[in-house]
Amino acid sequence: MEFRIADTFTDSLGRLTAHEQKAVKTTAFDLQMDASAPGLSFHKLDRAVDKNFWSVRVNADIRLIVHRGAASLLLAYVDHHDKAYRWAERRKIERHPTTGAMQLVEVRERVEELPPTPSAAAPTAAPNTPSGPKLFAGLRKLELMGFGVPEEWVNDVREATEASLFDLLPHLPQEAQEALLRLAVGEKPAVPEPAPADPAADPFAHPDAQRRFRILHDGDELRRALDFPWDRWAVFLHPAQRDLVERRYAGPARVTGSAGTGKTIVALHRAVHLARRYPKARVLLTTFSKPLAKALGARLASLVGGEPAIAARIDVQALTAVAYELYGKAFGQPNIASGAVVQALLRTTAAQVKDAKFPQHFLVNEWTEVVDAQQLSSWETYRDAARLGRKTRLGEKQRQVLWSIFEAVEAGLRDRKLVTWAHIFGRLAEQAAAGKSLVYDYVVVDEAQDLSMPEARFLAAMAGSKADGLFFAGDLGQRIFQQPFSWKSLGIDVRGRSNSLRINYRTSHQIRTQADRLLPSVVSDVDGTQENRRGTVSLFDGPEPVIRLFKGEAAEGAAVGAWIAERLREGYAPPEIGILVRSAAQVARARAAVKAAGAKAVEFDEKVEGAAGAVSISQMHLAKGLEFRAVAVMACDDEVLPLQERVEAVTDEADLVEVYETERHLLYVACTRARDSLWVSGVTPESEFLRDVLG
């Protein structure tokens, strides 16, 4: 017997209490072991349109809805008795006549008329069209069905307007939702291939069906699905995501997409897929920070918790932790020079060199971005080095003076037996280039836009020449830590192997639209590879973001406090609310706002995670990987965003452009941490970036 689970079941299970979930899991395991066992109480749902729907008694009130076939059983839904029955009476499972995919369809004639949208921002109606222009009236029935629209919903779709679209979408299968959203924003999605002529073709094998139904082969698979009911990604993958996960690549590959499109999910599944495809290989799943690596590790555990042999061959670590460990084994434990030590050496050395009339900020940037990043070890290499993107032109005499400073700094580090991270990655890259094994056969990198040049060179030397060797997931619009550089020049060429995700699962349509105003529609890297952000759609609707300006900090804090209190009254749990500010200097303002709401606060940093019963406060650069139902981005003042001290430290015109870009990216990252509700505010004079958000 084939035992399947539907995404509607995992969603409904997650809404039950912990005690109720435990009872449901016990019944589900019993069903998988033996659906004919005498202790199981089945009840046929006579009022259901689909006569294959049955209920299974979990306890006095909870009912599990299953779909029984001749040789199959599908877990479809679970809820309290009356709600579970009503759900089943309005659903049917059938093969779509055009696409051939098995769908769970809401029965149109049993559904109440769709309510009008409450949004006050609905477009002005055109003459003789009280509800506004119809978005899909020009599409024929067969065209709409080609996108997965069930036949009985075609007329509703053709009547849909901009005001009613998001009320309609929840009633449709996800592939139809995505196609209609892309059509609504002017995209022209390709119509899927029609159903195969063979009526015996398995409709559950269709890629669209696999995103909502999955066969569970054993108890371990069922346990993982039930233990993490909120993590649908651990069980169901979008067809576009699955294609990128399972594809074979002749060289380095990259998946891009705006915030919330599932890049991290693809990276996780890719790591697992590589471990399965290559049974003797070791796979590294890595990113640029320890907190993000820890989060990846927790998600990986939910994905392969029942497969210890697979989990044992996937290491999840921050890239610096990997390098530290490998360097220690090869050369002995390194003593890493702090930024303060390097700056002190630059300052004292420059003071002793004749004609060294360079600002300290310039020396630090030239050392960090050119000399140390490229591991230049001689006058000749520095003389001929490309200073990519730097607009301050240097003649040979100036370079000679600078090299005398940098050479002395390198000597000072050697005397102190100190090394930099760039040195560590450089030595490891040399080892890999010489053919020495560095443990890992395949590498998957999340948040790849924040790789440094030495890190990228190390990865290229370790696995860049191997098919499937390197896989990157990232978004250029979220680059906040590193200067841009040419990946291609280091041996990482993703041209022709770079793909974008366009379905946003995390952020509402309103929040995504507002945040997207901060970035251009097309973002290019140094190698000319473009990320086109056009055509990205969100799968759900929400309230419009609130953007407010105040005359003083106290007024802003009181208003944010009232907003937090309102979210709490609506049923938001405190950990589902995040307050984000630019830097440590603004944290006190965030704490005052949480206090005004009568709530507790915990400040998130690299060592502290969100606490139960507390609203999270975080600086923007630590918000990567975080997600909240509601986010307030505070203190968006002039000279705070962009941060004035960064602007004043600039000594090169290119650096000024970089400061403004990364500060803008920070605000984008902060806004896109919100799922349902977003507040953005500042004190006048406000940040110039808010003018873009306001449109």
Write the CATH number for 207. Answer: 3.30.2310.20
**Token pair for residue 284?**
């590294």
119 within some domain: yes
- Paired strand residues for 75: 5, 66
Is 17 found in the same domain as 90? yes
Q: Give 398's DSSP letter.
A: H
Domain boundary among 486, 509, 532: 509
634 within some domain: yes
In degrees, rounded to 5, the angle at the alpha carbon of residue 349 between the alpha carbons of residues 344 and 353 is 155
Question: Using an 8 Å Cβ cutoff, are 447 and 287 in contact?
Answer: yes
Is 602 found in the same domain as 684? yes
CA atoms within 13 A on the CB side of 562: 6
Q: How far apart are CA 632 and CA 560, in angstroms?
A: 7
Is 324 found in the same domain as 442? yes
Q: How far apart are CA 544 and CA 530, in angstroms?
A: 30
Q: How far apart are CA 218 and CA 204, in angstroms?
A: 18
Label each residue of 467-516 as H, E or C.
CCCEEEECCHHHCCCCCCCCCHHHCCCCCCCEEECCEECCCCHHHHHHHH
Is 378 found in the same domain as 290? no
174-211 confidence digits (pLDDT tens): 999 999 998 987 877 777 666 665 677 889 999 899 98
Q: How far apart are CA 427 and CA 430, in angstroms?
A: 5
pLDDT, residue 386, reads 78
Number of domains in the chain: 5
**Token pair for residue 17?**
């209490």
**Token pair for residue 652?**
């090169």
516 within some domain: no
Is 156 found in the same domain as 277? no
The reported pTM is: 0.86
Measure the CA dihedral 590/289/238/471, to 10°: 150
Q: Give 637's DSSP letter.
A: B
Is 492 found in the same domain as 377? no
Q: Which amino acid is at 389?
A: G
191 exposure class (CB count in 10 Å sphere: 0-12, 13-18, 19+): middle
Domain of 675, CATH number, reads 3.40.50.300
End-to-end CA distance of the chain: 57
Q: How far apart are CA 102 and CA 98, in angstroms?
A: 11
637 within some domain: yes
pLDDT, residue 609, reads 61
Is 92 found in the same domain as 106? no
Domain boundary among 374, 390, 418: 418
DSSP string for 526-573: TT--EEE-TT-EESS--PPPEEEEESSHHHHHHHHHHHHHHHHHTT--
DSSP string for 144-206: HHHTT--GGGHHHHHH-BTTTHHHHGGGS-HHHHHHHHHHHTT--PPPPPPPPS-TTS-GGGS
pLDDT, residue 121, reads 39
CA atoms within 13 A on the CB side of 195: 22
676 within some domain: yes
Tell the residue number behind the tokens 């206090």, with chain if given.
595
- Paired strand residues for 314: 283
Is 160 found in the same domain as 205? no
Q: How far apart are CA 602 and CA 598, in angstroms?
A: 14
**Strand residues in 278-393 grouped as ranges (E):** 283-287, 314-318
pLDDT, residue 610, reads 57
366 within some domain: yes
Instruction: List, for the chain, all residue ranges whose pLDDT scores fall below the cut of 50.
Output: 116-130
The pairs formed by 111-118 with CB atoms below 8 angstroms and a separation of 24 or more are 111/171, 114/156, 114/164, 114/167, 114/168, 114/171, 115/167, 116/163, 116/164, 116/167, 117/163, 117/164, 117/166, 117/167
535 within some domain: no
Can you give the residue range of the structural domain that contains 317?
A: 238-329+424-509
pLDDT, residue 122, reads 38
Is 668 found in the same domain as 561? yes
Is 8 found in the same domain as 110? no
Is 398 found in the same domain as 274? no
295 within some domain: yes
The pairing of beta strand 62-68 with beta strand 314-318: unpaired
Is 449 found in the same domain as 311? yes
Domain boundary among 383, 418, 453: 418
